[in-house]
Chains A and B, each alone.
Chain A
Amino acid sequence: MLQTQATSGNSLLAVDGVSVHFGGIVALDGVSFDIAPGQIAGLIGPNGAGKTTLFNCLSRLYRWQGGRIVFDGQSLLDIPRHRIATVGIGRTFQNLALFRSMSVHDNVMLGRHCRTRSGFLSNALRLPRVVREERASAEQAAQLVAFLGLEADADKRVSDLPFGTQKRVELARALASEPRLLLLDEPACGLNHEEVHALGKLIHDIRGRLGITVLLVEHHMSLVMSVSDKVVALNFGRKIAEGTPAEVQQHPEVVQAYLGNGD
């Protein structure tokens, strides 16, 4: 416990020598970095670099064979998968993972699951506190739906909506869980130029107005470089650079990694 406290210091997230392999493939190889509260951190790297793998470790979907991950002084290994949202890590998925048959509103409502408590019996009896909780959640969901400009689609099934809109629904759902650390996996993918610009502003707002720390995985370089306070670059599962956007952009290994991949 003491050791945990020491490594985390004043960082919100501490990734310390994390390694993941799938059979012979080394997806992450001793990756370490910290994120301070209130930071926007970019995570870049060519395809297959291990970015999503790291996210999946943070969600406890994948097991890591070496190293430690500490969130707010608590080892992630002590937190079961379904409690990750409750301790304050929210995320979006690279390939959308929405509840397809549900409306936009209900998807966002589900994001409130970790902040609400009513169970089977109290729901079946529809106790007054269930009604109250439901009403409060609905209000918060409506606010988020408005924050992301989804009002017109609130009652539509998500599977009927265009890709870009679905991405915003995922973001609203993640925000509904009131995360302290928000993991965004390629939010700009498939968006047009203006939408990317709006997304950059939105990420700034999420940090500025909601006070949420952000870890952003993105291939869209101008977006990452313009919003991030710091950037971590991965290649073949190894961290090759870490620093300010300007430093990382000029780092020879980063330049090499991207040129080598023809990206």
Chain B
Amino acid sequence: MTPASPLTAASAAPGKSRRIALAVLLLAICALPFLVTNYHTFQLTMVLVYAIALLGLNILTGYNGQISLGHGAFYAIGAYVAAILMDKWGVPYWATVPVAGLVCLAAGFLFGLPALRLEGLYLALATFALGVSMPQLLKYKHLEYWTGGVQGIVIMKPDPPFGLPINQDQWLYYFTLAIALVMFLLGWNLLRGRVGRSLIAIRDQPIAAEAMGVNNSLYKSLAFGVSAMYTGVAGALGAIAVQFVAPDSFNIFLSITFLVGIVIGGLASIPGAIYGAIFIQFVPNIADQISKAAPWAIYGVFMIGFVYLMPVGVAGAIRIAWARIRRGSGRNGQQ
């Protein structure tokens, strides 16, 4: 979180250059699908999907200090809501995304209520229980009509609309990108003002937060709901991109991977969600290329390396480096 005061005149100048940099970056991101293969485009789509999920988890764990070892469950709920809506009711794919988000908002809020009594490791255990039980719930016999049981549900890949001259993978990328941009904009707005400050205050010093008028219980359960909503939206987008949902793709390992993502990317950082998403999407592949025999050992080495070299996450490391560059150039400018 950048604590820069809106009153300082200094923030105006970097604000402008930052805006230009953002515009250039956005252009590059839009050009990407034309520069790489379809498979890589699909992988980039998954980076966007994970980035949304990680932003959600970061709101809860990074900003508000409530640890979750079970966010894979909300991702699964989002994915299944999308798949079932398309499979059973023929709902168009784009309309399933907001529904998945709302269902997860409610699910997260409701789970957050009893979780209010739990803190630290106990909350970790409760969310772990949620994450670890989700695949089995999805296989539950009496839900099989909806969930397709162990077989899961196959989804059709959407065609680009309005006769756009791009292929399906490219379209999915832009569709996901548009939603990711909206979600990040909303998240940034949420976190930079009164609500974001309160979430951090609860994490830093809950007693003082409440003494200043923050309704801790309400904010914590809403944080849970919003967090689950983000992850659910990601789940729906992921299901559409992968064209398939099955219980075992949403095992506890997915939840742990999300946690890895926010820690590596940077806790309580919005860009951190993107860095974390790049890590969890590509590092397993790289590890696999390095050693077919022990890819997870290589993954572990990467993880330890990142944590060792960037103890405050990639976002933190970039922030520190950037501050150093700025301070350096400032000094040169004065001489």
Contacts and interface: CB of A to CB of B under 8 A. Distances in A.
Contacts of B210: 81-82
Given A99-B208, A113-B214, A177-B213, A134 B193 contact: yes
A113 to B, nearest CB: 5
B7 interface: yes
Contacts of B5: 103, 105, 138, 142, 154-155
Contacts of A110: 197-198, 201, 209, 212, 214
A119 B226 CA distance: 13
A111 B3 contact: no
B87 to A, nearest CB: 31
A173 interface: yes
Nearest to B202: A99
Interface in A68-90: 81-86
Interface residues of A, number: 45
Contacts of B91: none
Interface in B166-224: 186-187, 189-190, 193-198, 200-201, 204-205, 207-216, 222
Contacts of B190: 120, 123-124
A82 B205 CA distance: 14
A147 B6 CA distance: 19
Interface in A115-143: 116, 118-120, 123-126, 130, 133-135, 137-139, 142
A114 to B, nearest CB: 3
B28 interface: no
A109 interface: yes
B17 interface: no
Contacts of A82: 210, 213-216
A215 to B, nearest CB: 15
Contacts of B293: none
A110 B5 CA distance: 13
A81 B214 CA distance: 9
A102 interface: yes
Nearest to B204: A99
13 contacts: A61-B211, A85-B212, A98-B205, A99-B200, A99-B208, A103-B5, A118-B193, A118-B194, A120-B190, A123-B189, A124-B189, A125-B189, A126-B189
Interface of B: 1, 3-8, 186-187, 189-190, 193-198, 200-201, 204-205, 207-216, 222, 226, 268
